[in-house]
Structure 1
Amino acid sequence: MLGIVLIAGSIAGVWLVVAGARTTEPVYAAAHTLVAGQTVEAGDLVVVDVALGASAGRYLSREPLPGEAVVTRTIRSGELVPADDIVAVATVKTATVVVRTSGDVPASVVPGSVVELWSAPSLGQGEYDAPRILVADVVVAGILDEESVIAGDGMSVEISVPRSDVAGVLDAVAGGDALSIVPTRG
């Protein structure tokens, strides 16, 4: 009799473990790459059912998004969306700016890439000072005219920069500085 009770208990235990492992929860994943500073709308997210166990609370569930939600870091297409990486727009400390580069942008630079924005200050007609890093750790939000640009004629790149650096970037653009996007390694 004791043997039957042990076998029944063992079967029930295995059944509970298997049933618990099959428990999934609906959470959001990125429908496409979302870049830091981007406003998130319902079409930017897809619902996926995943087994997360104890870490389920770390990810954005199927609750309504906060009003005017913004991404705080790049989230790749298909990646689960961490709840801490979606915040209200009022708390964002970056701004999106479009710059025109003086030359082509490397092919490795895509939305979500972290790059440096270099500037060679204009000294006058066709003369430039030595280049320097204007802003480091800039996130590329988009390449705006990659298909229509003539090789070597520059490109318009949308970047997300810290608000404290916006004035410097706009000053460089207005001053006619030669701007370059340089991918970071590391």
Structure 2
Amino acid sequence: MTHAETSARPPRRALRGDARFLLGILLIAASVAGVWFVVAAARQTAPAYAAARTIVPGQVVAADDLRQVDVALGQSAAVYLAPGGWRDGMVSTRTIEAGELVPADAVGDADRMRTTNVVVPSSVDVPASVDAGAVVEVWAAPPQEDGGFEDPRILVADATVVSVTRDDSMMGGGAAALELVIPRAEVAVTLAALADGAVMSVVPTVGGGE
């Protein structure tokens, strides 16, 4: 090998330096592309349903109870109810506040519901803040044989208000009647208390009527 041939070859250090430089460029390009992909994905929106009004458990979800919105959900898109996921006859399984995105698991078939609706007269008025979607307790004071009433006790600890009718002329004034969603397991005892003439009182749970 002649001296001229040896001097014509690039030094190995220079080749290594070029390789590292190219690798650095590739890493920077990959990083920029990854950031661009994340930003582009975050800007993409998908249609979903939001509650047009407060929806309570057990309520049949009609088309006008929902409004379609375009939101950037990313990988969470499957968590929420989207067009094509709603069908006639579906009911709410929990309270969905007005404007809230509707979770896919917050609606289902009526035959799977474990709650039902009853109307309970309250011997005392309820705060004005108690409205559709509020969580309340139902208390009952069973009648005694001597004409009095026993001490009140909690009959239903967790009921959801569907509607409230306030009427000062009811039961001497300051009373109300409430349509409530209660667990099916507590329907029998509630109806029995109503049939026996128990004094019923509906009160907000702690913080529920403030």
On whether the aligned pair clears a TM of 0.5, the verdict is: yes
Could you say which TM-score interval applies, normalised by the shorter chain? 0.7 to 0.9
Task: Determine the structure 1 residue equivalent to 2:16.
Answer: none
| CA displacement at 1:124 relative to structure 2 | 5.7
> Does the residue aligned with 1:68 lie in a helix, a strand or coil?
coil
Distance in 2, Cα, partners of 1:114 & 1:90: 23
Distance in 2, Cα, partners of 1:95 & 1:126: 32
Q: Which has the higher strand share?
A: 1
Task: Determine the structure 2 residue equivalent to 1:182.
Answer: 203
| CA displacement at 1:127 relative to structure 2 | 2.1
Normalised by the length of structure 1, the TM-score is 0.87
Name stretches of at least 5 consecutive residues in structure 1 with no aligned partner.
none
Is 2:39 the partner of 1:26?
no
Task: Determine the structure 2 residue equivalent to 1:68.
Answer: 89
| CA displacement at 1:109 relative to structure 2 | 1.5
Distance in 1, Cα, partners of 2:30 & 2:185: 64
Name stretches of at least 5 consecutive residues in structure 2 with no aligned partner.
1-21
Q: Give me the identity figure in percent.
A: 51
Distance in 2, Cα, partners of 1:71 & 1:31: 14
Tell me which of 85, 92, 99 is aligned to 1:78. 99
Q: Aligned ranges for residues 5-24 of structure 1 at < 5 Å?
A: 15-24=36-45
Indicate if the aligned counterparts of 1:98 and 1:157 stay in contact, CA closer than 8 A: yes
Q: Residues 46, 127 of structure 1: CA spacing in aligned structure 2 closer, same or farther, 3 A cutoff? A: same
Tell me which of 132, 139, 144 is aligned to 1:123. 144
| CA displacement at 1:141 relative to structure 2 | 1.1
Q: Residues 90, 6 of structure 1: CA spacing in aligned structure 2 closer, same or farther, 3 A cutoff? A: closer
Indicate if the aligned counterparts of 2:134 and 2:204 stay in contact, CA closer than 8 A: yes
Distance in 1, Cα, partners of 2:174 & 2:35: 66
Task: Supply the AA of the counterpart residue of 1:121.
Answer: P
Is 2:156 the partner of 1:135?
yes
Q: How many residues align?
A: 184
Task: Report 1 or 2 for greater relative contact order, CA contacts < 8 Å, sequence distance ≥ 6.
Answer: 1
Task: Determine the structure 1 residue equivalent to 2:18.
Answer: none
> Does the residue aligned with 2:55 lie in a helix, a strand or coil?
coil
Q: How much is the aligned-residue C-alpha RMSD, in angstroms?
A: 2.5
| CA displacement at 1:182 relative to structure 2 | 1.5
Distance in 1, Cα, partners of 2:159 & 2:180: 6
